[in-house]
Structure 1
Amino acid sequence: MKQPPETDIRKTLGIGATRSRARRRRWIIGAGVALLLLIAAVTIWRMKADRNALTYITRPATRGDLVVTVTATGNLAATNEVMVGSELSGIIKTVEVDYNDPVEKGQPLARLDDIKFRAAVMKSRAALASARARLEEAGATRVETEKRLARYRKTRAMTGGKLPSVEELETAEAALARAVAAVGVARAAIDEADAQRVEDEANLARTIIYSPVNGIVLNRDVDPGQTVAASLQAPVLFTLAEDLRRMELQVDVDEADVGQVKEGQSAEFTVDAYPDLTFRAGITQLRFGAQDTDGVVTYTAIMNVDNPDLLLRPGMTATADITVERRTDALLVPNAALHFTPPQPKTSQRRGLMGAILPRPPHSRKPRAGSDETPDARQVWVLKDGRPVPVPVTVDATDGSLTAVTGGALNAGQALVVDAVGEAS
């Protein structure tokens, strides 16, 4: 029996058609997967391109006043602060004033027990009277010896030199010399006694402690009954401020800022007691002497402060802003605009879809030959057709946030690039 051809058998069983349909199905599935991959790659590439697009942040140039200040801290003090003490040792008998009391020049502040000082005055006055009496006695003795010597000389002349004897005449002459010397000693004793009297009377007067100035009592360090010992130095009993309506502010200026600070400059300061108030001051002295505190070098500046309402008190801590420069109606640019540099474009990267999928090689930008770009070039960048364009400027004073500039084709209100977000392509 003749066998049917194999082709006829496959057709009869449908085997060839089944395989053809399977191949077509696999091809369709593969094409669909490839299409999906292509769509995903394009989507990723576009998202990455959008993400890498640069967005420039700008701030406008403005016109206005610029004030450059230097900040320093210090303490308030009375313009003339007087320490009042006692030259004498003794017991405080009374205290006439208290804290915050106004005082006038010559007003008694306290009194020492003066019994021993009064006794010393009485003793010195008695010694003076005694010395004066001894002077009168010495004077009478001198007159007596002068007359005796005169009689001796007259008798000797009348007797032809026979009487009195030479020895008696010489004794009378020596007695007169001693009498004259005794008068001199008595006079010196009077001067000495009088000097002691003056000293004792001055000490008696010092038992009353007077105010040397018109002012106010800042501090009182003595009470009645307290013993004052003035053996080596006068103890401080009272601290007086001459006039608290005129005070001074002593601030420490950092060595980095002292070159900008000068006498005659104005300042504004605040104190913790009145945080909402601002007080004015003027620099009257900038001392050359340096102060080194833990390696920090500062210089003391003295400022005059008006205090008509007596709000400020000695010892208050103040923070002062010293005006070192001022520019009126100046063109001002943000400091960030002066420091901005456009991102460098990556020119050697692979482009297109494959470049988006595959990683890019690292790239470094080198300055072009003959370029006038320098690290210290002062310029700002403005946007022109969406791209930053440099504008050269000359910088002037700065307050740390804004800088006054001159020159260039820059106008107030013009947008300046201060930052860029994204990645340059």
Structure 2
Amino acid sequence: MSQEESQAEASVAERIGLKEPSSRRLRHWRRWLALIIVGLALLGVLFIAPSREDGPLFKTAEARRGDLRVEVTATGKLQPVTQVDVGTEVSGTILSVEVGFNDRVAQGQVMAKLDPDKSRAEERQSAAALALAEAQVDEAQATVSETGRKLGRTRDLIKKRLASPEELDTAEAAAERAVAALAVARAKVDQAQAKLDSDRRTLEKTVIRSPIDGIVLNRVVEPGQTVAASLQTPVLFTLAENLTQMELKVDVDEADVGQVEEGQTAVFTVDAYPSRTFPATITQVRFAPETVNGVVTFGALLAVDNADLSLRPGMTATADILVREESDVLLVPNAALRFMPPRQEGAKARPNLLSMLLPRRSRGTRQPSESTEKKPAGAVVWVLRDGVPASVDIETGFTDGARTQVVSGELEAGTEVLVGVEQGGRTP
């Protein structure tokens, strides 16, 4: 073949695509090389990556030795040890008010006065009735003397046969009536005296005095106000005897009252001082229940020292009562006592290329140990043994709400116990 024919064939082949320029061939080779590298990388991942089985990833916590403080929380209100409501037994108009809020008063000090005009008039009337009754006694005494002398003369005449028996009977009856009238007059004196004493007492009650040494917490009366004490004694003042010593009355839940005893210590907080705690001591746990909205509680009184007067009556307080304190005991989280491992059914291994080419004996689905079929009696915690949850029986003691004391069982300090399951976790 001549050179001209060879050039013509090459030109034709190039036109119909049977022969590409060298630059195009290089680009094609580069593309194929990139695809081959990616394919080898994917095969390497499939061969090297181990097979994994679907299963939960457990959360664990360590069982540790430590100190345990068991506390009972209760809420209540502060109140004075001695609080007295001062009222009036007399109706009338308030003439003056002598004390105000936060004033210190002494026993017997005048706090308010009522208009005494009506009471004073009744007292004078009773005094006059007493004077009249005493005059009637004198009159009756004179009558007794007169009838007595007449009876004596009649008896002398009878002895001399100068008077008839009928006259003697009349004289004796008159003398007896005079004695009876004297007794009636004396009784009226006692009655009038009692009425006078009552009216004088009523007059004294128009001046309202403090029954104790204390502080005025509340005053609900003003001069010119009319008070009526006919049906119920109106309260005019509220006094606290001593605010340096106060009481905290808290409501203890019926589930906790069995742990609360007299003499136990406590600390409490109030909203006015959120960063400050106050000490207290239980002085009384009452037997009488209190039911509010179906919830049964029992009242407990705590003695509070308020020397700086920072606490005030009526404040709401939250108290933490220390009912038990244990040192160096084995503790587990309460979440471990509530935990129950989930059952895994129908879980299958995720296949890879190596497992398909080289099949291995199936390990089956990982399940908790046989103890998961039936929950043992008593308290139970769960631990991992060979990657499988296994139960451990324990005997529990006291709890502080977050941790529980382990009294006995095959659980040692440092053991990781199961407390939960990670959401969407897997285990190899």
TM-score, normalising length: structure 1 = 0.78
**Does 2:232 match 1:230?**
no
Question: In the superposition, relative to structure 1, how do residues 175 and 272 fare at CA in structure 2: closer, same or farther (>3 Å)?
Answer: same
Amino acid at match of 2:200: E
Amino acid at match of 1:275: P
Question: In the superposition, relative to structure 1, how do residues 185 and 34 fare at CA in structure 2: closer, same or farther (>3 Å)?
Answer: same
Question: In the superposition, relative to structure 1, how do residues 134 and 343 fare at CA in structure 2: closer, same or farther (>3 Å)?
Answer: closer
CA contact (8 A) 1:56 1:420 kept: yes
Alignment of 1:210-359 (within 5 A): 210-338=209-337, 349-350=348-349, 353=352
Matched residues in 1 for 2:271 and 2:372: separation?
58
The worse-fitting range, judged by mean Cα deviation, of 414-423 and 100-109 is 414-423
Q: Secondary structure at the match of 1:378?
A: strand
Matched residues in 2 for 1:418 and 1:45: separation?
36
Alignment of 1:9-408 (within 5 A): 39-40=41-42, 43=45, 49=51, 58-158=60-160, 161=161, 163-338=162-337, 349-350=348-349, 353=352, 363=365, 365=367, 368=370, 374=376, 376=378, 378-379=380-381, 381=383, 393-407=394-408
Question: In the superposition, relative to structure 1, how do residues 169 and 68 fare at CA in structure 2: closer, same or farther (>3 Å)?
Answer: same
1:303-358 Cα distance to aligned partner (Å, 9 max, x none): 2222111111111111111222221222333334455567778898457525979x
Alpha-carbon offset, residue 115 of structure 1: 1.9
Matched residues in 2 for 1:215 and 1:268: separation?
27
Q: Secondary structure at the match of 1:282?
A: strand
Alpha-carbon offset, residue 240 of structure 1: 1.0
Amino acid at match of 1:400: G
Matched residues in 2 for 1:403 and 1:355: separation?
49
Question: In the superposition, relative to structure 1, how do residues 227 and 36 fare at CA in structure 2: closer, same or farther (>3 Å)?
Answer: same
Matched residues in 2 for 1:377 and 1:149: separation?
106
The worse-fitting range, judged by mean Cα deviation, of 42-51 and 293-302 is 42-51
Q: Secondary structure at the match of 2:352?
A: helix
Question: In the superposition, relative to structure 1, how do residues 370 and 241 fare at CA in structure 2: closer, same or farther (>3 Å)?
Answer: closer
Any unmatched runs of 5+ in structure 1? 1-12, 19-28
Q: Secondary structure at the match of 1:225?
A: coil
Amino acid at match of 1:256: A
Matching residue of 1:8: none
Matched residues in 1 for 2:40 and 2:396: separation?
54
**Does 2:426 match 1:423?**
yes
Alpha-carbon offset, residue 57 of structure 1: 5.3
CA contact (8 A) 1:383 1:415 kept: no
Any unmatched runs of 5+ in structure 2? 1-12, 19-30, 357-361
Amino acid at match of 1:264: G
Question: In the superposition, relative to structure 1, how do residues 166 and 269 fare at CA in structure 2: closer, same or farther (>3 Å)?
Answer: same
The worse-fitting range, judged by mean Cα deviation, of 222-231 and 257-266 is 257-266
Matching residue of 1:25: none
CA contact (8 A) 1:344 1:424 kept: no
Q: Secondary structure at the match of 1:131?
A: helix
Question: In the superposition, relative to structure 1, how do residues 328 and 367 fare at CA in structure 2: closer, same or farther (>3 Å)?
Answer: closer
Question: In the superposition, relative to structure 1, how do residues 42 and 397 fare at CA in structure 2: closer, same or farther (>3 Å)?
Answer: farther
Amino acid at match of 1:70: V
Question: In the superposition, relative to structure 1, how do residues 231 and 391 fare at CA in structure 2: closer, same or farther (>3 Å)?
Answer: closer
Percent of aligned positions that are identical: 48
Matching residue of 1:24: none
Matched residues in 2 for 1:115 and 1:370: separation?
90
Matched residues in 2 for 1:188 and 1:318: separation?
61
Matched residues in 1 for 2:331 and 2:368: separation?
32
CA contact (8 A) 2:51 2:351 kept: no
Matched residues in 2 for 1:382 and 1:223: separation?
77
Alpha-carbon offset, residue 387 of structure 1: 8.3
The worse-fitting range, judged by mean Cα deviation, of 185-194 and 275-284 is 275-284
Matched residues in 2 for 1:41 and 1:343: separation?
36
CA contact (8 A) 2:65 2:330 kept: yes
CA contact (8 A) 2:51 2:349 kept: no
Matching residue of 2:9: none
Matched residues in 2 for 1:256 and 1:92: separation?
51
Alpha-carbon offset, residue 407 of structure 1: 4.1
1:7-28 Cα distance to aligned partner (Å, 9 max, x none): xxxxxx9xxxx9xxxxxxxxxx
Alpha-carbon offset, residue 89 of structure 1: 0.7
1:68-110 Cα distance to aligned partner (Å, 9 max, x none): 1222222111222111111011111121111111122222211
CA RMSD in angstroms comes to: 3.9
The worse-fitting range, judged by mean Cα deviation, of 37-46 and 204-213 is 37-46
1:240-278 Cα distance to aligned partner (Å, 9 max, x none): 112222222222223333343334332211100011111
CA contact (8 A) 1:271 1:316 kept: yes
Amino acid at match of 2:241: E
Matched residues in 2 for 1:407 and 1:93: separation?
76
Matched residues in 1 for 2:369 and 2:384: separation?
21
Give the count of matched residue pairs. 393
CA contact (8 A) 2:46 2:353 kept: no
Question: In the superposition, relative to structure 1, how do residues 169 and 396 fare at CA in structure 2: closer, same or farther (>3 Å)?
Answer: closer
Matching residue of 2:359: none
TM-score, normalising length: structure 2 = 0.77
Alpha-carbon offset, residue 383 of structure 1: 8.0
Question: In the superposition, relative to structure 1, how do residues 171 and 277 fare at CA in structure 2: closer, same or farther (>3 Å)?
Answer: same
CA contact (8 A) 1:346 1:424 kept: no
Question: In the superposition, relative to structure 1, how do residues 299 and 44 fare at CA in structure 2: closer, same or farther (>3 Å)?
Answer: farther
Alpha-carbon offset, residue 419 of structure 1: 5.2
